[in-house]
Amino acid sequence: MKDNDGINKGLSVIYIYVASAIVVWTIVLGASLIWDMHSTKKTTEELAKKEARVHFNKDQAFRFWGSKHGGVYVPATKDTPPNPNLSHVPERDIKTPSGRQLTLMNPAYMIRQMMNEFSELYGVKGRITSFKPLYPPNAPDEWEKNALTAFEKGVKEVFEFT
């Protein structure tokens, strides 16, 4: 009987060590998983912010380019009719020597049309908005109102992940 007690006691100690090692290993793996998930989320958010900035800067460069040139003339079509907001511009609508009708497109309209027609190409949607939009469909939604209010208070960027 004494031999069995010694063996049982030895096995009990081994079981305790093995069980303790398994518990510690599980805690280490769990902590590693939590850290990895947190790190991955943070990295993904930073990459998303970077990509958003790149697209915003591209749109800004395009808009600045259009502003620098006073807009661009494009063929007047049903998709790009003369802009009533530019009716005060003397040469808003011109005719080429060959008779082609052109209309002046201002930078905001250029950006809006580009964003509406080609957002799938970039995989990023954007839009121009303001508390006082000249084009009524550019009125801000609730999230945009909050962002615009933050900008008025000096905040430089507003991000939200959903």
Q: What is the pLDDT of residue 7?
A: 64
Q: Is residue 31 part of a domain?
A: yes
Has residue 152 got a pLDDT over 80? yes
Q: When comparing pLDDT for 1 and 146, which is higher?
A: 146
Has residue 26 got a pLDDT over 90? yes
Q: What is the pLDDT of residue 25?
A: 97
Q: Model's pTM, two decimal places?
A: 0.73
Q: Is residue 29 part of a domain?
A: yes
pLDDT, tens digit (0-9, with 9 covering 90-100), for 109-150:
999 898 888 888 878 888 889 999 888 888 999 999 999 999
Q: What is the pLDDT of residue 6?
A: 61
What strands, in cross-sheet order, belong to the sheet with 93-95? 72-75, 101-105, 93-95
Q: Helix (H) and strand (E) counts for the chain?
A: 3, 3
Q: Is residue 30 part of a domain?
A: yes
Q: Is residue 8 part of a domain?
A: yes
Q: What is the number of domains present in the chain?
A: 1
